[in-house]
Structure 1
Amino acid sequence: MLKKSVVIIPIYRPDDKFKELLVMLKQQKGVSFDVYIIDSGSRREDYQEVLEGLSYTIVKTTPQDFNHGGTRQAAAEACKDYQYLIYMTQDAIPVNEFTLHNLLMVFENPKVGCAYGRQLPHKDATVLASRARSFNYPATSRLKGLADAPELGIKVSFISDTFAAYRPAVLKEIGGFPTDVILGEDTYVASKMVLAGWLNAYVADAQVYHSHNYTIVREFKRYFDTGVFHARESWIQRSFGKAEGEGKKFVIDELRYLIKNKPLLVFSMIFRDGFKFLGYKMGLYEREIPVSIKRKCSMNSKYWK
């Protein structure tokens, strides 16, 4: 019987948050795991010392060869003999020693195909960044299946590879991660699993610190890429509903919070959300935009060949 899980972490020029992640991995209890690092542009000596005490493998790649889906699929194939595949990003820091254990416990339900944990903002997170985390990652756990689509819409397949786990057999059953996506490989896989009858589990007591203080330009680029993903994988919105509906809920929630607690930030929020919406809409119609312009609009300029 398979006993070990594997934590798969793609890295690119990681900062101190990656070292904090490794330190917290060494403190994990109640779970046996190896670490599989995909390094696409770092000096091993910058983090080698912190790896001591972990069972790990490091695979080198290049920024040009990295792809959100293809790189993770290659890792899944290399790690196919593990019981569970846990994906993390280099800036996701486990909150306590039971972060991994709590996430994997949900797989005791044989219908769960994938699961993801709660993201709490870093200490330096802005008000808007913190609010985004509280909206997308509430305090209550939930199992989400196809029967929940009328209520949850596209949220039924929401998941984040910042901190998520998959059954390898189920991942293989639905065809694995897409090999060439600009982002959203996690949503792609979760959508396939839900449509195949599996459950997508949100586990609120499996927690990591993770947030970004994006500039307005960075937000625009992120949402442009999200629009590109939804345009190219249009079957997801046809199956579960349009992402704009969830976006409206977030804007309303954000506005109510700011009016009550930080009214001086309302104008900034409206301006920022307007740019996010513009980026998303442009992404949806990216096929009408020249590649040279798409490179400038995208967070992933190397994606555009």
Structure 2
Amino acid sequence: MKVSILIPTYNAQFFITELIEKLKTQKVPNGVTTEIIIVDSSSSDSTRDIIVDKYPEVKFVTIANKEFDHGSTRNFLAKMAKGEYYLFMTQDAIPRDDLLINNLLTNFQNGKVKIAYARQIPKSDAAPLERFARSFNYPDKRVIKDKSKIEELGIKTFFNSNVCSMYDAALFKSNNFCGFPEKVILNEDLILAHQVVMAGYQVIYENNAVVYHSHNYNLKQQFKRYFDIGMAFNETKYILENVSNEKEGFKMVIQQQKFLLKNKHFGEIIYSFLESAAKYLGYYLGKRHHIFSYDFKKKLSAYMK
């Protein structure tokens, strides 16, 4: 059995060495091997030189920056993979220990499981709001998600993150599934998880598989991210037919205030309201992106090219 580790990169010189070293020391079950494949979107830093010079065993492919797409680039990685399971990661997701792959892989002993994604914990430099966001979205409790959980979990039934997520390779090779959707601004991971759940299979949130991953986004960056999230959900309205994304957002805001008060981060409370307002405005406008010109949307978006 082989696990293919698939990583899209762009200007990853500050992360890529630590990531590959951590991946090389992973403990996997007897009879399991791994391969690492990287597709780089024409980095302007030393990413290519670091990988090619230090890690000749890593398959490295370069594409034009304008060709990058969250779905199609990952499908391109999958086409080069030889494994029975694909572990998609981002360049700044650093395994906490040497059991990441093993802890994800054990979930697939059940034939109904098609996706297992990891817990994300904040890096040491994470701001209080980011630390809360990681704990809210990635609690220390394993969750088995299928159609029976929709009423209980709502939109989180379909939540999945390609920051670190393992897939049964059949999702990219069968007639029933064809990998990630392409030409979507975001949410390629959530969309595929939705397809898996609605087809009667399971998605596992594996809390014992852990990566360090966090970002200290400013208000402008949060607005742009949520503008893209709004666009993504507008283009996939069918996912929200029986669940509410906004409801989960309001729940997060309430829990966020409790977190700040409990931990005496009083100085963050006003900023948290500004951040929530920036997120909501971005999301609101993103869901109505058709009223804007393409050039104007590019100014509001984090990922449009």
TM class, shorter-chain normalised? over 0.9
Assess if the C-alpha contact under 8 Å between 2:39 and 2:63 holds in 1.
yes
Distance 1:73 1:48 in 2: 22
Q: Distance in 2 between matches of 1:106 and 1:175?
A: 22
Deviation (angstroms), 1:182: 0.4
Partner residue of 2:251? 249
Deviations 1:162-205 (A, max 9, x none): 00011111344322211111011000100000000110100001
Distance 2:290 2:182 in 1: 20
2:304, 2:138 → 1: CA distance?
Answer: 29
Given that 2:185 and 2:304 are in contact with CA atoms closer than 8 Å, whether structure 1 keeps it comes out as no
Q: What residue is the counterpart of 2:187 in the other structure?
A: 184
Q: Percent identity?
A: 37
Q: Which residue does 1:103 correspond to in 2?
A: 104
| 3-state secondary structure, aligned to 2:68 | coil
Matches within 5 A, 1:228-267: 228-238=231-241, 240-261=242-263, 262-267=265-270
* Equivalent pair of 1:23/1:50 in contact (CA under 8 Å): no
User: Is 2:52 the partner of 1:48?
Assistant: yes
- 1:127 is aligned to 128
Residue 284 (str. 1) matches residue 282 (str. 2)? no
CA deviations over 1:87-124 (Å, ceiling 9, x no partner): 00000000001111111111111110111000011111
User: How high is the TM-score relative to the length of structure 2?
Assistant: 0.94
For residues 15 and 215 of structure 1, do their structure 2 counterparts lie closer, same or farther at Cα, with a shift above 3 Å needed? farther
Amino acid at match of 1:34: E
Root-mean-square deviation over aligned CA pairs = 1.2
* 1:249-273 Cα deviation digits (max 9, x unpaired): 1111101111222122110000111
What is the TM-score of this pair, normalised by structure 1?
0.94
Q: After TM superposition, list the pairs within 5 Å mapping 1:1-305 onto structure 2.
A: 3-30=1-28, 31-42=32-43, 43=46, 44-51=48-55, 55-79=57-81, 81-171=82-172, 172=174, 173-238=176-241, 240-261=242-263, 262-302=265-305
Gaps of 5+ in 2: none
Q: 8 Å contact 2:52–2:60 — kept in the other structure?
A: no
CA–CA distance in structure 2, aligned partners of residues 13 and 41 of structure 1: 8
C-alpha displacement at 1:301, in angstroms?
2.7
Deviation at 1:48, TM superposition (A): 3.3
Residue 146 (structure 1) shift: 0.6
Cα deviation for residue 49 of structure 1 reads 4.2
Aligned residues: 296
Between 18-27 and 198-207, report the one with greater CA deviation: 18-27
Q: For 2:129 and 2:221, how far apart are their aligned partners in 1?
A: 14
